[in-house]
């Protein structure tokens, strides 16, 4: 039986009414599809399970490998909590046009209504056109009555927070937080394994067949978090050749790595897989007596939990998101 090694997966590309060409032209995703909005990099969502593209396991699914290797792949604590279900969904997203204004239910609501995990997520902005923006949360505390009044009048933007964004900006999207990716934004998304979205406003646009996408007005009412924050953008520091913590929540931890040389990674105290998303440059991951796997900008790799030590070498100045579960 083959032993575990760093795993790369075939991107699952999704055409979207709001999708564009950056996943193809900037991140070099190969597809004949038009309007590609999402590239699912690591997924265990039913019907969209990731397939390995490198090494001896080429053609096997992520689910196959978890069933065989269990804690060796994901970590003892992760396996005891999630068993054969991989807990995270990793994506790159290109919004040529604005996404619908939406939110995601918490674990309790998602379990009750959909037998699913909730959907806590985070965004890392890789590129934004001039005036590219994100809608995140309310400007000030609101309530159902005020929200419904603005929803019916199609004036939701009057009570929602809109931030113009740039490369490197990070936003944490807790469950219940109203949000939307604006036109011209390319980003990396890290989230719980769930595809449950409550769409509350879709800009009155029609699909190519003349229909409108479903809205989830009633379901959303009890799922929305109507409280506001003073600041929605996540502040973090960047340290060259050292991990800088960006997000630390019960569902995932994300660190930022900027690298221009070689750094050693010690995973022995994490008891978790590690996912690396390359958001700039190109690096080599050196493991197991000099074996090498490269990842470029727009590529993702999963390091099994039983890889306690390995090295990341910058081929050029590079930036990575490092994701695992505590």
Looking at the fold, whether 65 and 190 belong to one and the same domain comes out as yes
Q: Per-residue DSSP letters for 123-187?
A: EEEEEE-TT-EEEEEESS---HHHHHHHHHHT-GGGTEEEEE--TT-EEEE-TT--EEEPTTEEE
295 to 150, 247, 299: CA distances (angstroms)? 46, 23, 6
CA distance 304 to 4: 7
Looking at the fold, whether 214 and 255 belong to one and the same domain comes out as no
Radius of gyration for the alpha carbons in the chain, expressed in angstroms and rounded: 20
pTM of the prediction? 0.95
- What's the CATH code of the domain at 256? 2.60.120.10
CA distance 205 to 100: 10
- Does any domain span residue 229? no
Domain boundary among 188, 221, 254: 221
CA distance 164 to 172: 16
Looking at the fold, whether 252 and 149 belong to one and the same domain comes out as no
> Average pLDDT per run of 10 along the chain, which is 326 residues long?
87 96 96 93 97 97 97 97 97 97 95 92 98 98 97 96 98 98 98 94 87 92 97 96 96 98 94 98 94 97 95 98 97
Sign of CA dihedral 249, 19, 282, 303: positive
- 127 pairs with which residues across the strands? 186
DSSP state of 241: T
Looking at the fold, whether 310 and 189 belong to one and the same domain comes out as no
pLDDT number for residue 1: 43
- Does any domain span residue 1? no
Looking at the fold, whether 212 and 263 belong to one and the same domain comes out as no
Looking at the fold, whether 76 and 192 belong to one and the same domain comes out as yes
CB atoms within 10 A of CB 297: 19
Owning domain of residue 168: 12-221
Looking at the fold, whether 212 and 248 belong to one and the same domain comes out as no
> Element (H or E) spanning 191, and its range?
strand 185-192
Provide the number of structural domains found in the chain.
2
CA distance 41 to 274: 14
CA distance 289 to 136: 46
pLDDT number for residue 138: 98
């Amino acid at each position: 039986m083959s032993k575990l090694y760093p795993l790369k997966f075939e991107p699952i590309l999704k055409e979207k009414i709001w999708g564009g060409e950056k996943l193809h032209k900037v991140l070099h995703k190969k597809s004949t599809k038009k309007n590609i909005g999402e590239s699912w990099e690591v997924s265990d969502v039913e019907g969209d399970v990731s397939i390995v593209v490198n090494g001896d396991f080429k053609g096997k699914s992520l689910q196959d490998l978890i069933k065989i290797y269990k804690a060796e792949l994901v970590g003892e604590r992760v396996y005891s909590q999630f068993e054969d279900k991989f807990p995270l969904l990793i994506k790159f997203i290109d919004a040529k046009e604005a996404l619908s204004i939406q939110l995601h239910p918490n674990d309790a609501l998602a379990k009750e209504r959909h037998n699913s995990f909730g959907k806590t997520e985070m965004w890392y902005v890789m590129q934004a056109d001039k005036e590219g923006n994100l809608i995140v949360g309310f400007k000030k505390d609101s309530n159902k009555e005020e929200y419904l009044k603005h929803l019916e009048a199609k004036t939701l933007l009057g009570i929602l927070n809109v931030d113009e964004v740039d490369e490197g900006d990070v936003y944490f999207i807790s469950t219940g937080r109203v949000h939307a990716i604006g036109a011209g934004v390319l980003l990396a998304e890290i989230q719980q394994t769930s595809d449950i979205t409550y769409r509350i406003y879709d800009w009155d646009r029609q699909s190519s067949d003349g229909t409108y996408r479903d809205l989830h007005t009633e379901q959303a009412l009890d799922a929305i978090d109507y409280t506001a924050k003073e600041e929605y953008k996540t502040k973090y520091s960047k340290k060259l050749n050292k991990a800088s913590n960006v997000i630390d929540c019960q569902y995932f931890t994300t660190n930022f790595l900027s690298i221009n040389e070689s750094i050693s990674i010690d995973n022995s105290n994490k008891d978790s897989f590690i996912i690396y998303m390359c958001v700039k440059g190109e690096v080599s991951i050196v493991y197991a007596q000099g074996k090498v796997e490269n990842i470029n900008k727009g590529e993702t790799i999963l390091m099994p939990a039983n890889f306690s030590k390995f090295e990341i070498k910058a081929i050029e100045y590079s930036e990575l998101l490092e994701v695992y579960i505590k």
